[in-house]
Every structure is written in C-alpha cells, then in structure tokens.
Chains A and B, each alone.
Chain A
Amino acid sequence: AQKITQTQPGMFVQEKEAVTLDCTYDTSDPSYGLFWYKQPSSGEMIFLIYQGSYDQQNATEGRYSLNFQKARKSANLVISASQLGDSAMYFCAMRLSGGYQKVTFGIGTKLQVIP
C-alpha cells in the first residue's frame, strides 16, 4: 500500500524568502502521480502542482516548484518569494496510475509566513 509522510507539522518563513516543504512517499509501483494542495484558513483545498513519476523535469507552476527525487522517494514543494497569502496548510498526495486508484494524502504541514 502506498504511504505519504510529511514530517514537518509546522514551518515559519520570512516574507519574500523561499521555503521547502518536505514530502516522502512509499510505493513499489513504478507509475504514480504526486500532488500538492493548499488549504488556507478559509478551508478550501486548492490544487497547486502535479508531478508524474516518469516526468523528466521537475514540475513548476509560477512560484511553486516540485523538487522530485525519485531515488529518494521525495517530492518536496518549494515556494519561492513567500507571500503572506501563502500561510496555509499544505498537503502532499499520491495516486498510483492506471484506472481507478485512491489518492493518499499526507497529514499536512502548516506554513506561517512572517512579515
């Protein structure tokens, strides 16, 4: 069974600095997808970025990039130039490929951006 681990319950970052949120995963399947979602205090779950296991390059979406290290089974989220609006819970998730597969979510990391 697949597993997602987020070991940082809480993180602080100074405004305009970069921050890395850690995520490791465990699966024996070679084909999978990795996701990051943001949940601000208002409660909605916002999709940020996706990385496929066979993608050659790390995914990027604006200020978000995914540092994908397949051999280490890590998929860290990097947020550059942090903004106050980045303060939120961040969830890493994984889904195996092929037909219907459940998405497994991590427990989340709470990020606080300090002015």
Chain B
Amino acid sequence: DAGVIQSPRHEVTEMGQEVTLRCKPISGHNSLFWYRQTMMRGLELLIYFNNNVPIDDSGMPEDRFSAKMPNASFSTLKIQPSEPRDSAVYFCASSLEQGSTQYFGPGTRLLVL
C-alpha cells in the first residue's frame, strides 16, 4: 500500500513567491495533519483536518499560510508571499481516525532565498 505522498520533495524559491505544497494521505485515512520542522523549533503542528474539515489551525503562523483539503485524497499548504524564515521541512501526516497513529509523508524541503 502506498504511504502518504508529498510533492514536491524539494522546493527552492525566491522571497515573495507563492509556494504550494501537496499531500495525498493514505487511502481510507480521515485525519490529515501538516507539520513544519526546523532546527530551532523542532516539529510543529500547523493545521489538522478531520473528514476534510479544518479542526485546528492554531499553529498556522500567519495569514501568509493557508491550507485546503478539497477532498479525502488531496490537501495543499500554500505560502504567499514566502519569506526566508519559512525555510523548513514540511510534513504531511495522516491517521485512520482522530486518535490513532499518524503516518508521515517523506516531507518537502523548502528553501526560500
């Protein structure tokens, strides 16, 4: 079975550009999470969806960040405009249901110059 799929795996962009990260959760999983990992702050939860509905977006840094889940098999995390401090690894994770084990995708390494 395929795990969580993320694209792109690497992204290099210039400050001010729009960045869109994509995630396909494991089929049948109804919970989806976006995390950001940096050396300084470790792993931070950005937003959590359950059944395609955003439940907790308290971790979204600011209005420049937005996330959508138009259907059960696809989610996007958008940064507009991007800034150098957004450089990080962004993980998508999914779980079968609200309280079960989260399985992570391979991550997207974002570098904003």
Contacts and interface: CB of A to CB of B under 8 A. Distances in A.
Contacts of A100: 48, 50, 55-56, 98-99
A105 B104 CA distance: 14
Contacts, number: 44
Interface residues of A, number: 22
Contacts of B55: 100
Contact of B107 (A37, A43, A103): A43
Assign chain B's interface to a size class. Answer: 20 to 34
Interface of A: 33, 35, 37, 42-47, 50, 91, 95, 97-103, 105, 107-108
Main secondary structure of the interface of B (DSSP, over half): strand
B71 interface: no
Contact of B98 (A37, A42, A44, A99): A99
A49 to B, nearest CB: 10
Contacts of A37: 104
Most B CB within 10 A of own CB, among A43, A46, A101, A107: A43
